[in-house]
Amino acid sequence: MLTKSRLLAIVFVLLGVFFGVFIYQTELNKNNPGSSWSGLPFKLGLDLKGGTNLIYKADVSKIAPGALGDSMSSLRDVIERRVNLFGVSEPMVQLEDGSIVAGQVEHRLTVDLPGVTDISQAVAVIGQTPVLEFKTERPETEKTKILEVQNKAKDAFSKKLPIPTGIDPALLQQDPYYISTALTGSYLQKATLEFSSNSFTPSVSLTFNDQGTQLFADMTKANVGKTVAIYLDGAPITTPVVREEIKTGKAQITGNFSADEAKVLVGRLNAGALPVPIELISTNKVGATLGEEALNQNVKAGIIGFLLVALFLIVWYRLPGLLATISLSIYVVIMLSIFKLVGVTLTAAGIAGFILTIGMAVDANILIFERIKEELSNGRVLEDAIREGFWRAWESIRDSNLSTIITSIILFWFGTSLIRGFALTLAIGVAASMFTAITVTRTILTAFGLRGQSKLLKFLFGHGLKV
């Protein structure tokens, strides 16, 4: 048993040394492509690294008031998915509540892209996500009325005359031929590229989700023998005639496009058809000057805090405190290695969560050492006191850390990207701290094989400033 503990202790210490060398070398050579240690720098968020900030305005004029919240949330999810698809790390996509601008209520979407300093590249990352709409024929009487109003307005415009009184301005913006329906790209489940078996012409097949299938069935049932127009980005791309009710939730887009164009369209639709049209209204290039200062201050604070905690542990708990400091060092290098290997993006909030977990790891060690001290004061021999101290402290450590992990999961599930970064760092840190506080510290302490009641052992396991 003692041999096993000593072997494990050696393995833990060697792993700590290896991870420490790994972090040092990868940071030292992060800008040296020829080095075998290059390519794994820490990923920093927008607040620390700089990048691009984009602000979009959402056109919610065609969204029912009751569906506004779901549509905007869906819009945010689609943009996040598209940004992640292009490999931008830790994007922050946030919705702004409707604010009054120039007398009108505007709903905005803010996108932060860390590390993307080329604004044109940032806009390209978001891309021209297609807005897919299904429209039905407008009744003849309405079509005639709208066309009459629009023709009057065009005639007045060509003669440089004011628009005749009595004309409803809203009619000037309407499509005289088709009416928008509730069926849009937000109900799209997938798009696939297909080829005709006879002419080999490409087409795009659409499959809707359950709600979209019902809407499509209702629309086709009510328009048998009539034209249904499929609009993409505001322009009609096909106007098929409905022959019968379609209950399968599948539609087909055909048109004068090449196989490559159809492939691009499929990719754009699958990446996320926007449920709400958006317009780019602001672009900002964010510098990292303040971020670098904040990062340096956070790192400095973390190092000073770690050294002070280590000094307290060694002075107050002596040998167990020294071993806890070694265990804490292993914890730090494990966490930093996870950040590098997994690609966790560090923000100021994430670093704060990491530093918080260091304090929680120390708290676990203190609980263990206090339990050991109680067992020694109750007359137990050192070996039994160590075993009982770890066992009795485990339940308190488990419950407190488990509650923190649950809180982290809730924050990650419901929070924004910024809160998720903090929650993820906190959860990983708590799990790693439990491992190092319970397993690593115990293994190293047991590896010494300390027994007996000598004066040296009493001093090494003493408490506080008592000799």
| pLDDT tens digits for range 57-110 | 888 777 777 777 777 877 777 777 667 655 555 567 777 765 555 456 678 888
Predicted pLDDT at 460:
66
**Please, what is the angle between helix 348-377 and helix 289-317, to 10°?**
0
pLDDT, position 187:
83
Do 13 and 116 lie in a common domain? no
> How far is Cα 175 from Cα 135, in angstroms, rounded to an integer?
10
Output the pLDDT for position 5. Answer: 72
Around 77, how many Cα atoms within 13 Å sit in the side-chain half-sphere? 10
Q: For 221-274, what is each residue's pLDDT tens digit?
A: 998 888 888 887 677 777 888 888 888 888 877 767 778 777 767 766 665 556
pLDDT at 20: 85
Q: Tell me how long the chain is.
A: 467
pTM assigned to the model: 0.55
What's the rounded mean pLDDT across residues 420-427? 78
| pLDDT of amino acid 291 | 62
pLDDT for res 425: 79
DSSP 195-214: E-TTT--EEEEEEE-HHHHH
- Residues 347, 451, single domain; the answer is yes
Domain-located, residue 274: no
Per-residue tokens: 314? 């060694």
Residues 126-148 have a mean pLDDT of: 80
What H or E segment, with its residue span, contains residue 236?
strand 235-238
For residues 162 and 393, which has the higher predicted lDDT (pLDDT)? 393
Task: Please tell me the predicted confidence (pLDDT) of residue 109.
Answer: 85
Taking only the tens place, the pLDDT of each residue in 312-340 is 888 888 888 888 888 888 888 888 888 88
Pair (390, 452) in one structural domain: yes
Quote the pLDDT of residue 312. 85
List, edge to edge, every strand of the sheet that includes 228-232: 178-184, 132-137, 228-232, 235-238
Q: Which residue has the tokens 């840190």?
A: 429
Question: Does residue 272 sit within a domain?
Answer: no
For residue 286, pLDDT over 60 is answered with yes
Greater confidence (282 vs 82) lies with: 282
Range of the domain at 444: 2-42+288-460
pLDDT at residue 34 in the model: 59
Domain count for the chain: 2
* pLDDT number for residue 148: 83
Rg (CA), the chain: 32
Residue 317: HSE in the Cβ half-sphere, 13 Å Cα cutoff: 22
**Token match 């929680």: residue?**
360
Which tops the pLDDT comparison, 144 or 98?
A: 144
Q: Are residues 409 and 342 in the same domain?
A: yes
Q: Kindly state the DSSP code that residue 118 receives in the 8-state scheme.
A: -
In a domain, 429, yes or no: yes
- Give the residue from 129, 147, 171 where a domain finishes: 129
Residue 403 lies in a domain: yes
Residues 376, 411 within the same domain: yes
| Most confident range, picked from 2-6, 215-219, 374-378, 457-461 | 215-219
CATH number of domain containing 65: 3.30.70.3220
The last residue of one of the domains, among 129, 144, 167, is 129
| pLDDT beyond 80 at 201 | yes
List the one residue out of 76, 222, 82, 70 whose CA is nearest residue 139: 222
Interatomic CA distance for residues 160 and 132, integer angstroms: 36
pLDDT at 466: 58
Which tens digits make up the pLDDT trace of 103-135? 566 788 888 887 776 777 667 667 655 677 889
Read off the amino acid at residue 209: N
**Chain-centre distance for alpha carbon 336:** 20
Phi/psi region, residue 38 (left: phi>0; alpha: psi -120 to 50; beta: rest), is beta
> Average pLDDT for residues 426-449, to the nearest whole number?
79
pLDDT at 300 over 70: yes
Q: For residue 366, what is the domain's CATH number? A: 1.20.1640.10
Tell me if 186 sits within 8 A of 71, measured CB to CB: yes
**Looking at residue 125, what is its pLDDT?**
63
Q: What is the average pLDDT across 38-58?
A: 76
**pLDDT value at position 88?**
57
- Number of alpha carbons in the 13 Å side-chain half-sphere of residue 147: 10
In a domain, residue 134? The reply is no
The DSSP code sequence of 92-117 is EEEEEEEEEETTEEEEEEEEEEET--
Q: Which of the four pLDDT bands, split at 50, 70 and 90, describes residue 384?
A: confident
* Distance, CA of 362 to CA of 364 (rounded, Å): 5
The answer to whether 60 touches 74, Cβ cutoff 8 Å, is: no
With vertex at residue 67, the alpha carbon angle to CA 63 and CA 68, rounded to the nearest 5 degrees, is 65
Please give the Cα distance from 352 to 350 (Å, whole number): 5
Are 373 and 437 contained in the same domain? yes
Q: Among 324, 312, 317, 304, which Cα is nearest to 461's?
A: 317
**Is the same domain home to 7 and 125?**
no
pLDDT of residue 290: 57
Residue scoring higher pLDDT (465 or 287): 287
pLDDT confidence band for 453 (50 / 70 / 90) = low
Q: Which of these three, 100, 129, 158, is where a domain ends?
A: 129
State the average pLDDT over residues 21-34. 74
Describe the crossing of helices 2-28 and 319-338 by its angle, rounded to 10 degrees: 50
